[in-house]
Structure 1
Amino acid sequence: MINQQDVSQRLKSSIKIYRDANLQLIIGITLMAVLGSSSIGPTLPSLAEEFQVSPENIGWVITVFVIPIAIGTPISGILADRYGRKQILVPALLLFAIAGMVCSLAANFRTLIEFRFLQGVGAAPLESLALTLISDLYRGKLLTAAMAFNATSIGLSLAIYPLISGGLTTWGWRYPFLLPLMAVPLSFFVLFFLRIPHRPQSETFELKSYLGNIWNSINNRQVIGLLIAVVALFILLFGPYFTYIPLLADAQLGASHFVIGIILASMALSLAFVSSQLGLFARFLSEVTLIKASFIVYATALIITPLIHNIWLLFLPSILFGLAHGMVFPSTQALLGELAPQEYRAGFMAVNATVLSLGQALGPILAGGMFTIWGMQGVFYSSAIFALTVLIFLNFLLIRLRTSQ
């Protein structure tokens, strides 16, 4: 065990943060969390054909993976605060890997679904505890830089995983389900080499008091403002962007699936690049300023999208979405990590991860409602109004954070 202040001081004085072994292991955990969902898309057509599953039911392969994550993330946060980070992470990584391997051996669709659910149980703690560990280890601008590199890894994985999975699927649908086996060696590295700050363990644990403390830490304008930003950015990303930009490209601009994939990949690469440079931006701009600026960029991208009549010009809003997400996501996570009390930080960050999942779920639903009422253009214009409305709320809710930077 090591002292948190010693970690930050050592990094500032001797090495660049991305070379820190602790951060590299944490990013490995994040990459496993992203792998569980982003590597499956290219296999779905082959799965539907193999098991004679209808298009409306094949989505259960993803749904049953997400359900235990939504339910289990808060529970895993409580357990991690009570028993320790590694005590939850290591078994979770092993379960994630083993269940994934069994999925590759499934003889029927029901077996596949059952073990995808178990894999989701293993994945539940991964993303929130990765964010918790970063918040445990780093403070101040160093925390922002660490969150930025974590977001960079997410951006790159969103671009690379589908390509790897698609290539493996040419050999057979079972091969992409073997990718989670990478979590086995990672679990041993986490167990033996991840160095985390010492946290005094209380001999008694009262759940009611613990939950009350988390609620008290969340129930203030700064945290509420940051959580609003988190849910809003994922509503925008999974609603108008991931759901309706592909539909716009296909229905109105005649784009092929390959071209649509390239356009979506440009967002992920833009996200990765901007996140990798965020540590530099944060030296001159506060995290709150970056958060607010991102919603202006979101609104700009959404306003220009319906005006585009050339498929290749869709790269512009796509890159702008990556720019905005690369600024807002690590900035919100860094500020939430700063505000999370040490003794129940995992539970606090689990609430953050749950809100994130809520945004992912609400995005397509809300955008679908706007499409029903106002059509394709209405999706983007109403989303732009939503982004600017959120900006107004943030300008009010985050004022204290801005003046305390």
Structure 2
Amino acid sequence: MGVSSIAPALPKMANVLDVSNERIGLLITAFTIPGMFLTPFLGVFADRIGRKVILVPSLFIFGIAGTACAFATDFTWLLILRFLQGVGGASLGALNVTLIGDLYEGNRRATAMGYNGSVLSVGTAAYPAIGGGLALLGWFYPFFLTLIAIPVGLIVLTKLDNPEPDNHKNIKSYLGDILKALKSRTVIGLFAANFLTFIILYGGYLTYFPILLDEQFSKSSLIIGIMLSGSSLITAFASSQLGNLTKRFAESTLIITAAILYLGVFLSIPFIENIWLFALPIIVFGFAQGINIPSILNLLTHQAPKEYRAAFLSVNWTIIRSGQAVGPFLLGLVYGATGLNGTFWISALAAFCLFLVASLAIKS
């Protein structure tokens, strides 16, 4: 929600707030930066004092700061509020996956990760369309969607019954165990894969693909949102099949396949001149997302015992946030230097690097 609901409105925000296309991606970067620094500390606290103690306040901050963005009067204030919203969102993704890891094992965990990916993708599918439609009323309306985080926080507080870690290790032993696990070649490879994946997603796809549709095809924020939603629906379907797919294919094979598909998508986008022909890369991108991200998360969760799972996955979430922040910023520089097509060439290069990482460093 923090990104996908506003992505279709970015061109309109740039227009209304008189911000260049190179700078508008900072709205995504400002949201993702807090996660780069706060998430590991929040993960440690979640292991030491409990998951819900961190999760509930995070949901409240996310909802309140996100809604406040709608009342920002200039770009600077909007960036500040997006940063605060990012503080609230810093722990949400990591704790979500941590709780799944706490509750499920084996193939049931792979299936649960797939269903989680499906739910996220349905949200990612719905939010661009909803956000794009709301942006027709005004650039600020998509931010009101974050209000839903407040009742969700209340439900988690009163209804969620989850196992909490019984962590009696001293902090030195606890941190030593985490560092030992993080040195694994497979873990490092998985972190690199996530970093590259989110550079591709947040840079090439969610930031500069909408700008392409606006600049070269003059599509409204609603149409852009619907097009982005199409790939997310495919992602939801592919993710829901992860349990079945992992019975036949190793997760590393699925990640390699996704990298090849990403490469094809971004090599093709600059050559498409008919708006309807974007259907194929949108479908292919969605399928790649659906088999890639849940596979990475399932492999990482398998590497981390419950006693330090939140901290371990929080480091991964920091890697994800780094990719989310670097992607729009890096491609903004590329856009300024080479133009729009250059952003897609760099995204294709990132996909090729993902292929190399998955082939050489990741083992299921």
Aligned pairs for 1:123-138 within 5 A: 123-138=89-104
TM-score (norm 1): 0.77
Q: Which amino acid aligns with 2:160?
A: L
Q: Which residue of 2 aligns with 1:311?
A: 275
Measured against aligned partners, the alpha-carbon deviations of 1:97-148 in whole angstroms (never above 9, x if no partner) come to: 3334555566777766554443322221111111111111112221122112
Measured against aligned partners, the alpha-carbon deviations of 1:62-94 in whole angstroms (never above 9, x if no partner) come to: 544333233221221111111100111112222
Measured against aligned partners, the alpha-carbon deviations of 1:276-321 in whole angstroms (never above 9, x if no partner) come to: 2222222222212211111122222233334433221122112111
Q: Which residue of 2 aligns with 1:267?
A: 231
TM-score (norm 2): 0.85
Identity of aligned residues (%): 43
Measured against aligned partners, the alpha-carbon deviations of 1:172-226 in whole angstroms (never above 9, x if no partner) come to: 6665444333223322321232222242132x642x5433322211101111111
Q: Which residue of 2 aligns with 1:188?
A: 154
Any idea what SS the aligned residue of 1:37 has? coil
> Measured at CA, do residues 171 and 229 of structure 1 come closer, stay the same or move farther in structure 2, by a change above 3 Å?
closer
1:336 equivalenced with 2:300 (yes/no): yes
Q: 1:360 aligns with which of 285, 303, 324?
A: 324
Q: Which amino acid aligns with 1:318?
A: I
Q: Which residue of 1 aligns with 2:174?
A: 210
Measured against aligned partners, the alpha-carbon deviations of 1:231-274 in whole angstroms (never above 9, x if no partner) come to: 121222233333443454455x5352355444322222221221
TM superposition shift of 1:228 = 1.6
Q: 1:79 aligns with which of 22, 33, 45?
A: 45
> Measured at CA, do residues 182 and 211 of structure 1 come closer, stay the same or move farther in structure 2, by a change above 3 Å?
same
Rounded Cα–Cα distance in structure 2 between residues aligned with 1:261 and 1:238: 15
TM superposition shift of 1:47 = 7.0
Q: Which amino acid aligns with 2:297?
A: Q
Q: Which residue of 2 aligns with 1:26?
A: none
Unmatched segments (≥5 aa) in structure 1:
1-34
- Does the Cα contact within 8 Å between 1:82 and 1:205 map onto a contact in 2? no
Q: Which residue of 1 aligns with 2:360?
A: 396
Any idea what SS the aligned residue of 2:3 has? helix
Q: Which residue of 2 aligns with 1:254?
A: 217
> Measured at CA, do residues 346 and 311 of structure 1 come closer, stay the same or move farther in structure 2, by a change above 3 Å?
same
Rounded Cα–Cα distance in structure 2 between residues aligned with 1:371 and 1:105: 30
> Measured at CA, do residues 163 and 393 of structure 1 come closer, stay the same or move farther in structure 2, by a change above 3 Å?
closer
1:91 equivalenced with 2:54 (yes/no): no
Measured against aligned partners, the alpha-carbon deviations of 1:356-380 in whole angstroms (never above 9, x if no partner) come to: 1122223344445666777665554
Q: Which amino acid aligns with 1:70?
A: M
Rounded Cα–Cα distance in structure 1 between residues aligned with 2:29 and 2:285: 25
TM superposition shift of 1:387 = 2.6
> Measured at CA, do residues 116 and 314 of structure 1 come closer, stay the same or move farther in structure 2, by a change above 3 Å?
closer
Rounded Cα–Cα distance in structure 1 between residues aligned with 2:110 and 2:295: 6
> Measured at CA, do residues 85 and 311 of structure 1 come closer, stay the same or move farther in structure 2, by a change above 3 Å?
same
Rounded Cα–Cα distance in structure 2 between residues aligned with 1:186 and 1:331: 27
Unmatched segments (≥5 aa) in structure 2:
none
Rounded Cα–Cα distance in structure 1 between residues aligned with 2:133 and 2:151: 23
> Measured at CA, do residues 195 and 104 of structure 1 come closer, stay the same or move farther in structure 2, by a change above 3 Å?
same
Any idea what SS the aligned residue of 1:197 has? coil
Q: 1:280 aligns with which of 235, 239, 244?
A: 244
Rounded Cα–Cα distance in structure 2 between residues aligned with 1:177 and 1:339: 36
The number of residue pairs the alignment matches comes to: 361
> Measured at CA, do residues 88 and 314 of structure 1 come closer, stay the same or move farther in structure 2, by a change above 3 Å?
same
Aligned pairs for 1:145-160 within 5 A: 145-160=111-126
- Does the Cα contact within 8 Å between 1:92 and 1:126 map onto a contact in 2? yes
1:299 equivalenced with 2:263 (yes/no): yes
Rounded Cα–Cα distance in structure 2 between residues aligned with 1:314 and 1:41: 18
Q: Which amino acid aligns with 2:255?
A: I
Rounded Cα–Cα distance in structure 1 between residues aligned with 2:139 and 2:66: 13
1:162 equivalenced with 2:128 (yes/no): yes
Pair member with larger Rg: 1
Any idea what SS the aligned residue of 2:56 has? helix
- Does the Cα contact within 8 Å between 2:193 and 2:357 map onto a contact in 1? no
TM superposition shift of 1:165 = 3.4
How well do the aligned residues superpose, as a CA RMSD in angstroms?
Answer: 3.2
Structure with greater contact order relative to length (CA < 8 Å, sep ≥ 6): 2
Rounded Cα–Cα distance in structure 2 between residues aligned with 1:328 and 1:90: 29
> Measured at CA, do residues 78 and 250 of structure 1 come closer, stay the same or move farther in structure 2, by a change above 3 Å?
same
Rounded Cα–Cα distance in structure 2 between residues aligned with 1:263 and 1:227: 29
Q: Which amino acid aligns with 2:260?
A: I
